[in-house]
Amino acid sequence: MRHLPYFCRGQVVRGFGRSSKQLGIPTANFPEQVIDNLPADVSTGIYHGWVSVGSGDVHKTVMSIGWNPYYKNTKKSMETRIMHTFKEDFYGELLNVAVVGYLRPEKNFDSLESLISAIQGDTAEAKKRLDLPEHLKLKEDNFFQVPKSKIMNGH
């Protein structure tokens, strides 16, 4: 994607229900209109970046943009794995995402175990890259200063 970093925000919606249940790796999901408005040159694949929920703290993230071939999705999705443990669900909250860099293309896997292993590897690589000075500075971007009028449920 030529336009990195790319900033987007939208309400957290329920996803396919697989990340937490089957993978043990919860994700936050955007509604279709956010995905439909991604730049045309966005390649499907795995990206890293920064994320906040409402006006909360900014955390590292790794995200999948695409069709999730292992699950044979018919809808393109953007699944955001926030590298932070939240005490409760935050459906309906405002998710603020800065897509900072591209890790790899999306691919199919021959087993659930190999998919989980790839996600763990992507997460480790994203953590390393986000510690680089050129990526770390984006954590402080004004994009994450969300006006209180845009915040829902106190987050």
| Backbone φ, ψ for residue 9 (5° rounding) | -145, 150
DSSP designation for 149:
G
Any catalytic annotation for residue 79?
yes
Amino acid identity for residue 50 in this structure: W
Q: Locate 122 and state its tokens.
A: 């992507």
The 3-state DSSP class for residue 101 equals strand
Q: Locate 72 and state its tokens.
A: 């044979």
d(CA 70, CA 78): 15
Q: Which of 79, 106, 134, 140 is catalytic?
A: 79
Q: How far is CA 45 from CA 63, 65, 66, 78, 94, in A?
A: 8, 5, 6, 10, 23
Active site (catalytic) residues? 79
